[in-house]
């Protein structure tokens, strides 16, 4: 009787196995790099959008407070001196509330504070301060709150008329989208390639 030979099944050789593993590793690496780039792009976009929306809301609030305020400061010693007027400052203050019957007056101060390096801060912030006076005496410590964080630069440009009466106030802010993103040495950009946001608001106080 003639025997039939059963064909032997040949498995993968060690070289073929190593080659297939190398190909799979390259594909997975490429996919992870693409996924990481997509995640960073999404994070940069969301950080910029959320910061822009919140900062714009605060800017509108700040402009509205300036529009309804009175007796602004700081002011130049001579409004006719073009070297002093308009003047730039890192703060603006004004009377935001006054009750003449009870002799109560509130002064609002909006100021830019530099970063506290000792506290690990990289950028400054715009702060709100409220001073309350009764009978001309300061009533306790002023209330304060941080309005806008991650501010790289801020300036208040004040244009005065005779009086001195504030004619126009312009607020110029340069804000970083996220304080958790460290710069990488490229001017104006951070690790997610996001640019700082610049917001400019201008207001003319109401005439009382």
Domain definitions of the chain by residue range:
36-203
Strand partners, 113: 125
**What is the widest separation between alpha-carbon atoms in the chain?**
126
pLDDT of 189 above 60: no
**Which two three-digit tokens encode residue 146?**
């941080």
pLDDT at 181: 45
Nearest CA to 158 among 68, 96, 92, 112?
92
DSSP state of 86: S
Residues whose CB falls within 8 Å of the CB of residue 143, separated by 6 or more in sequence, listed in order: 129, 130
Residues 28-65: tens digit of each pLDDT: 888 888 877 777 766 666 666 777 888 888 899 999 99
Q: How far is CA 138 from its chain centroid?
A: 32
Residues 6-30: tens digit of each pLDDT: 556 666 677 777 888 888 888 888 8
Confidence of residue 180 (pLDDT cuts 50, 70, 90): very low
Q: Where are the extended beta strands (E) located within the chain?
A: 70-73, 87-89, 91-99, 104-113, 124-134, 137-138, 143-161, 165-175, 197-203
Confidence of residue 170 (pLDDT cuts 50, 70, 90): very high
For 23-31, which contacts have Cβ atoms below 8 Å and span 24 or more sequence positions?
none
Task: Give the whole-angstrom CA distance, residue 178 versus residue 43.
Answer: 10
pLDDT of 190 above 60: no
Strand partners, 158: 87, 169
Q: Which residue has the tokens 């609030």?
A: 61
DSSP state of 104: E
């Amino acid at each position: 009787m003639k025997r039939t030979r059963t064909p032997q099944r040949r498995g993968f050789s060690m070289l073929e196995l190593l080659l297939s593993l190398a190909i799979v590793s390259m594909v997975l690496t490429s996919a992870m790099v693409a996924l990481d780039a997509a995640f960073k792009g999404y994070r940069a976009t969301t950080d910029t959008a959320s910061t822009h929306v919140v900062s714009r809301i605060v800017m509108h609030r700040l402009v509205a407070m300036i529009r309804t305020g009175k007796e602004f400061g700081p002011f130049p010693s001579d409004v006719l001196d073009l070297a002093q007027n308009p003047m730039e400052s890192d703060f603006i203050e004004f009377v935001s509330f006054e009750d003449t019957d009870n002799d109560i007056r509130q002064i609002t101060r909006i100021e830019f504070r530099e970063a506290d390096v000792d506290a690990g801060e990289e950028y400054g912030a715009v702060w709100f301060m409220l001073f309350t006076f009764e009978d001309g005496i300061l009533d306790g410590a002023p209330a304060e709150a941080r309005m806008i964080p991650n501010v790289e630069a801020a300036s208040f440009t004040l244009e005065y008329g005779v009086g001195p009466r504030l004619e126009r106030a312009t607020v110029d802010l340069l804000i970083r989208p996220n304080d958790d993103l460290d710069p990488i040495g490229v001017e104006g950009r951070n690790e997610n390639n996001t640019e700082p946001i610049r917001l400019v608001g201008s207001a003319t106080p109401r005439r009382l």
